[in-house]
A = this chain, B = another copy of it.
Amino acid sequence: MVIESLREKNADFFVQHSGNANFFYATKFKSNASMFYILGADGTELLVLPEMELGRALRESRVKEIASFEKLGYEEKIRELGNSRKAIAEILIERLKEGRAKKVLIPTDFPAFLAFELQRSFEVEVIENPFLKLRAVKRAEEVFKIRQNCIKLLKAFEKFLNKLKFKKNFTCEFARKLIERELYSLGLIAEDTICSTGKLSADPHEIGRGRVEDHLLVDIFPKNPSTGYFADFTRTILIRNNTEIEEMLRAVIEAQKNAISMLRDGVNGRDVHNTVKDCLKSYGYETKSGEGFIHSTGHGIGLEVHEEPRLGDVDVELKSGMVVTIEPGLYYKKIGGVRIEDVVLIRENDCEVLTPYESFLGVM
């Protein structure tokens, strides 16, 4: 896929910088250091990194051709140029010149300083990162990792619910700590978990604060630090009777059901999104002025919580092996917000819900 981009653009190299999921996906090597993965149109791969990471990279990296900045003259260059950024740029440029580069591709989020430096020596084109598309369709071992996370997440959620049962007076902060601890005890790390309530929950990303009112919106998106993969799951729990909230929740559950029933290889994400929109509208829920169904229907999940594909007002063909969330919600400032979210694996003729759990969690 990445080599295809090079050929299509008639370019010689693609350069991927470190500090993001794409670099890890390409190399399977993790470090805080500044590093580069360079792929040539002929398929040659090179990893460039600090000498201090070399031994570990030789053991851990998928890429076996590795050079250190120091071996490539870092010390002299820093003396000459007086700046480590310039020294690194110069080393990169020299390597690309050795490969007779004329045209170099970089991803959209490539650091501007380096992009400008490369531009002095090569034709540089910014492209949509080809790894994003590759990452969207999961390999079997990736599905396995996400599935494991989902199983653990549901176990933690079940324990969380049991501990909350019959409690009516508790705070969002208490609920957040409780679910995060349950997740942690199963090996998942969660931060900024959304446990929101009342009118504030009309902001989809409000993490929640204060005493829980009639409902509790719990959005959990933990990472498994041992694999780097995420899970993502939301339930809205009715704590006390509230007809407005309950009706919104039932509409959202119906919209999700409709969306999930149409998922399969080849479906357009836009159609899924429209199905959700139409269903919510059919229940009388309007979307305007920042209220109603104000976000997209879902997103891919993997090494990032949000990745390709996006299921919204955009054409995108869903493919077998994609793992996406389906998360309709409704948000009204005078009432609050509700949302439910499941992780789903797209298959040839249907889909598999990786987070099978009761959608309607009634008054406890």
Contact = CB atoms under 8 A, between A and B. Distances in A.
Interface centre among A54, A56, A109, A333 (most CB of B within 10 A): A109
17 contacts: A30-B192, A31-B205, A32-B305, A32-B306, A51-B294, A52-B205, A52-B290, A52-B295, A56-B206, A107-B112, A108-B111, A108-B114, A112-B114, A112-B115, A189-B189, A191-B225, A192-B225
Interface of A: 30-32, 51-56, 85, 106-116, 126, 184, 189, 191-192, 202-206, 225, 290, 294-295, 305-306, 333
Given A32-B306, A205-B52, A111 B110 contact: yes
A116 B113 contact: no
A95 to B, nearest CB: 19
Contacts of A225: 191-192
A295 to B, nearest CB: 6
A193 B90 CA distance: 33
Contacts of A56: 203, 205-206
Contacts of A30: 192
A107 B116 CA distance: 12
A55 B202 contact: yes
Contacts of A110: 111-112
A228 to B, nearest CB: 10
Nearest to A313: B78
A242 to B, nearest CB: 21
A195 to B, nearest CB: 14
Nearest to A75: B313
A222 to B, nearest CB: 11
Given A51-B294, A56-B205, 5 more contacts: A55-B333, A109-B112, A112-B126, A115-B115, A184-B184
